[in-house]
Chain A
């Protein structure tokens, strides 16, 4: 289990981490969310000692992470980078060996990954000769070549086309199912909602919300009310002007209400404008929860 425990880090006047604390279990796929500049990258870097926190600890299986333990981790930084002029296969072998894998094992793991990615025929190509998408695949393979027990990915979905996104999803799910602790940051909240059971949301260097996505949604003090009238009549946006309108379209309106809001006035207003086709409450989706806590 990875434990991020009360990390503090300040750069001159800028506070990057302000007591950030959360855990990632083996087999868990954790979405790590937060607006830009909230400390996600700093937290991830501190797992790899690329950043030295001013205080607090990062532990793996209960112990402060030693350099040897780190060999069993995989890291994909937000700023992707490999050696552009190095050939694909030697490059993957190199990264496997940096993680302490013996030469033979590194070579066979490289062959397996290239086979799996459908890039066996490009083993002797320079990385820069590959398409952007294929370079992304090699980058992922470089992070996974040594079967890490902890996988940390900073914005793994950014810049991927839909096929690449799906391939990434498959691999992350597979690694978590195989027992690895997987944590990744992302701004694509709909995707995270579909993919992860658990999320952590940070803002200004500290965790503002953490837990299973479903729980976080229902725990919210807000409900979303979708009203649809058929046939549409009158100006819904104007009629519900006294409420918090999230979205409105022809004959439809989505309102944000506190969970204590009385319903009768809403029903009355709606039925006065037309026939109610839909009148349903939903808990906020992840994007809405996110905006509620960091907005």
Chain B
């Protein structure tokens, strides 16, 4: 039997046993429900913040006034008109708060205590420009000439050929970092528990009678890893579907380059940490010690996360160094790539180091695994386990 078929058998068992377990099915269902709930709940609560402005009109105001004010407010507000015969009537309504502003055609704008400042400014500006247009027409200047007059003949041209989108890209890269962080924390502990379980059950001695430790480790990481990625994808697909049904999809848009790199770093980071968690699990024999064994890894993850979150705004020396080191690179390099801050050689060096470190970790963890698995009782030190096995 080749190593690959042993790895496949182990991976298939771990995948199948977990997916068939009630606990996995329940937690997946619950997570999906929570995600859907979080997306749906805001639409049940009225969060409409659009203002409704009512403009009281006394007399004949220039046509299109109210519509122009409404258009000027954009998404912030809508404007509607309410006509009054006398100014006194309109002012009374303003005092009662039933209208937001009064425009008297005789040439007065009356505001109340609660009148929105933006509304006041808009009304004044619109009235002024309508007034200019009216007077210009009386003077025989046509509308086109008037526009030229105001724009002064200057065209606005952007210096960059393409608009700078790196802020959106960085936001996306950070979003990907959070997903990676959560995946590693969740599925890393599955791997940790899975390894410790086999030690606690003592089944590992039977399995290792035929399967090499590095193959058992690789199979375990693959089986649980694939299941984890499948669960993330399922939750992601559900979330995107619900969001797009609501027309509320608002993921930061990213350049394809950023997207591809985020995915590559996800896989690299997941593989590295999954192997590290398996090695950590082989050092302890009891579930209660699981968190102790994983503590150094949790620390590295937290450090990566903090470096990333303090660097969303842009490049800094800590980020630059971290993005080259395998334990931090998966959560920091995507940010630099997104910000166009990373030199090509830096990306190449970082990826090569990452792959080399993962390979080295598989070899190292295979030995730790072999040495640690058969020692039960107290917690085994990394170095002792490494020495205990020369496989």
Q: Do A and B bind?
A: yes
Tell me the A residues contacting B by CB distance below 8 Å: 45, 48-52, 67-68, 70-71, 73, 75-77, 79-86, 90, 94-95, 97-100, 142-143
Contacts of B82 in A (CB 8 A): none
Nearest opposing residue in chain A for B373, CB measure: A50
Q: Which residues of A contact B21 (CB under 8 A)?
A: 85
B residues 334-391 touching A (CB-CB < 8 Å)? 374, 389-391
Which of B206, B212, B391 lies in contact with A142, CB distance below 8 A? B206
CA A100 – CA B2 in complex, angstroms?
9
Judge if B108 is at the interface, Cβ distance under 8 Å: no
Taking the closest CB of chain A, its distance from the CB of B377, in whole angstroms, is: 12
Contact partner of A50 (CB less than 8 A), chosen from B6, B201, B209, B390, is B209
> How many positions in chain B have a CB within 8 Å of any CB in the partner chain?
23
Q: Is the CB of B209 within 8 A of A70?
A: yes
Q: A68 CB to closest chain B CB, in angstroms? A: 7
Tell me if B204 and A81 are in contact (CB < 8 A): yes
Give the contacting residue for B207; candidates A49, A71, A98; CB below 8 A.
A98
Q: How far is the CB of B182 from chain A (nearest CB, A)?
A: 26
A52 to B202, CA, bound (A): 19
Contact with A along B201-233 (1 / 0, CB 8 A): 111111111111000000000000000000000
Q: Find A83's partner among B9, B17, B209, B210 (CB 8 Å cutoff).
A: B17
Bound-complex Cα distance A246 to B206 (A)? 42
With both chains docked as a complex, state the minimum distance between the C-beta of B121 and any C-beta of chain A, in angstroms: 69
Complex Cα spacing A48 to B204, Å: 12
Are B391 and A49 interface neighbours, CB within 8 A? yes
Chain B residues contacting A95 (CB-CB under 8 Å) are: 206
- Known contacts A48-B209, A70-B209, A95-B206; decide if A86 and B17 are in contact (CB<8 Å): yes
Check if A50 sits within 8 Å of B374, measured CB to CB: yes
- B205 engages A77 (CB within 8 Å): yes
- CB contact between B208 and one of A50, A76, A143 (< 8 Å): that residue: A50
Give the residue name and chain of the B residue nearest to A81 (CB). Answer: B202
Residue with the highest number of chain B CB atoms closer than 10 Å, among A75, A77, A82, A99 = A77
User: Is B13 interfacial (CB 8 A cutoff)?
Assistant: yes
Determine the chain A residues whose CB is within 8 A of the CB of B248 once the complex forms.
none
Query: Are A94 and B210 within 8 A (Cβ)?
Result: no
Contact residues in B for A68 (Cβ distance below 8 Å)? 1
Contacts A98-B210, A99-B210, A100-B1 known; A81 to B205 CB distance under 8 Å? yes
Report the Cα distance A95→B6, complex, angstroms: 11
The answer on a CB contact under 8 Å between B205 and A94 is: no
Which chain A residues border B374 with CB–CB below 8 Å? 45, 50-51
Of the A-B pairs whose beta carbons lie under 8 Å apart in the complex, a sample of 26, sorted by A's number, is A48-B209, A50-B209, A52-B391, A68-B1, A70-B209, A75-B205, A75-B206, A75-B209, A77-B205, A77-B206, A79-B202, A81-B206, A82-B201, A84-B201, A85-B21, A86-B13, A86-B17, A90-B16, A95-B206, A97-B9, A98-B207, A98-B210, A98-B211, A99-B210, A142-B206, A143-B206
Question: A-B pairs with the 3 shortest C-beta distances?
Answer: A81-B202, A81-B203, A75-B209
Nearest-Cβ distance from residue A233 to partner chain B, whole angstroms: 57
B6–A98 CB distance below 8 A: yes
